[in-house]
Amino acid sequence: MKHYIPVLSIAGSDCSGGAGIQADLKTISALGSYAATAITAVTVQNTCGVRAIHPVPADIIKGQIQAVMEDIRPLAVKIGMVNDIEAIHAIAEALTTYHPQYVVFDPVMVSTSGHRLIEEEAIELLKTTLIPLATVITPNLKEAEVLYGKPISTLTDMEKAAYELLCLGCQSVLIKGGHLEGNEMTDILLTGKDASPLHYPGTKVDSHNTHGTGCTLSSAIATFLAQGYALPEAVKKAKDYVYNGILHGKDIQIGDGHGPLNHFFSPISMKIKE
């Protein structure tokens, strides 16, 4: 019997199709795995911004995770937008029960358009419940600043923040440097307190179509981990995928604001286990 390698995304729904659950479905599928989902919230948004957020009840979130875990049994889980305390507890309880091999947590807090996506009191709970369950957390600079409590504007700042965030209990920290000044950007991966930070330099693509890049990167990392790649290689392959998605989507017009990257610039066959 042959089986596709499954990956579960726990995240919010983006009705415009560029971020959240929709971006994760596209990413996991494009990279050759089977995508399952647990929706945490329904958002009203488009390429111009977020208009409203409707949270899914915590028992329904937990039920979705249970249903997938008991049947499809994904090796990797990606967690995206979680915007209230009850949802955080529900996800943490489910993951503690089923112990997926890999957990990639993208602590989504602010949308690209600047809309706050999480309740203030939920941030501290993230630090004590979900982050300690993570194989790797993937904050951008703004999200890392919220968790770190200090401004981050240089690579040295990013390295210091990574060590501090590692103390929250996660196995690894990937801080994304896409918001650094200039045309060059560097992501930093720290895999342990005694490890040296790994740098992933890159060149920014001049494009307005960057909606959903953080969601895409984290779900790509989860997918590559599920497929058997070690974390540093999974991060590299995920970054290459995102870069090419932006590059091949920069001249495509979707909406009037920040359009999505091109998830299917080079689709591949599904990964199958015997």
Secondary structure class of 251 (helix, strand, coil): coil
CATH of the domain at 180: 3.40.1190.20
Here the tokens at position 129 are 């419940």
Does the pLDDT value for residue 44 go beyond 90? yes
Does the pLDDT value for residue 231 go beyond 60? yes
Q: Dihedral through CA 161, CA 223, CA 127, CA 43, nearest 10?
A: 110
Task: State phi, psi for 89 to the nearest 5 degrees.
Answer: -60, -45
Over residues 46-66, the pLDDT tens digits come to: 999 889 989 999 999 999 999
Task: Give the whole-angstrom CA distance, residue 248 versus residue 243.
Answer: 9
- Catalytic option among 18, 212, 249, 259: 212
**Number of independent structural domains in the chain:** 1
Does the pLDDT value for residue 161 go beyond 80? yes
Task: For residue 204, tell me if it sits in a domain.
Answer: yes
Taking alpha carbons only, the member of 121, 138, 128 closest to residue 96 is: 128
**Residue 210 falls in the annotated catalytic set:** yes
Rounded to the nearest angstrom, the gap between the alpha carbon of residue 113 and the centroid of all alpha carbons in its chain is 17
Does the pLDDT value for residue 237 go beyond 90? yes
Does the pLDDT value for residue 264 go beyond 60? yes
State how far the alpha carbon of 191 is from the alpha carbons of 51, 107, 168, 249, in Å.
37, 18, 13, 32
- Catalytic option among 18, 80, 215, 236: 215
Task: For residue 269, tell me if it sits in a domain.
Answer: no
Ramachandran region of residue 99, left (φ > 0), alpha (ψ -120 to 50) or beta? left
Over residues 99-140, the pLDDT tens digits come to: 999 999 999 886 665 566 677 788 899 999 999 999 999 999
- Catalytic option among 210, 236, 245, 249: 210
The confidence band for 85, taking pLDDT boundaries of 50, 70 and 90, is very high
Mean pLDDT, rounded, for 225-252: 95
Task: For residue 53, tell me if it sits in a domain.
Answer: yes
Taking alpha carbons only, the member of 162, 170, 171, 258 closest to residue 207 is: 258
Task: For residue 274, tell me if it sits in a domain.
Answer: no
**Residue 213 falls in the annotated catalytic set:** yes
Mean pLDDT, rounded, for 228-252: 95
- Catalytic option among 26, 62, 176, 236: 176
**Residue 32 falls in the annotated catalytic set:** no
Task: For residue 65, tell me if it sits in a domain.
Answer: yes
Task: For residue 124, tell me if it sits in a domain.
Answer: yes
**Residue 215 falls in the annotated catalytic set:** yes
What pLDDT does residue 274 have? Answer: 60
In which residue are the tokens 């330099």 written? Answer: 201
Does the pLDDT value for residue 243 go beyond 90? yes
Which residue stretches of the chain are H helix? 20-30, 58-71, 85-98, 120-128, 141-148, 155-166, 213-226, 231-247
Task: For residue 38, tell me if it sits in a domain.
Answer: yes
- Catalytic option among 37, 213, 216, 223: 213
Domain that holds residue 228: 7-261
Task: For residue 2, tell me if it sits in a domain.
Answer: no
Decide: 214 and 140 in contact? Cβ < 8 Å. yes
Residues 6 or more apart in contact with residue 123 via CB below 8 angstroms: 109, 146, 147
- Catalytic option among 17, 18, 177, 214: 214
> What is the overall mean pLDDT for the chain?
91
Taking alpha carbons only, the member of 151, 152, 147, 149 closest to residue 137 is: 147
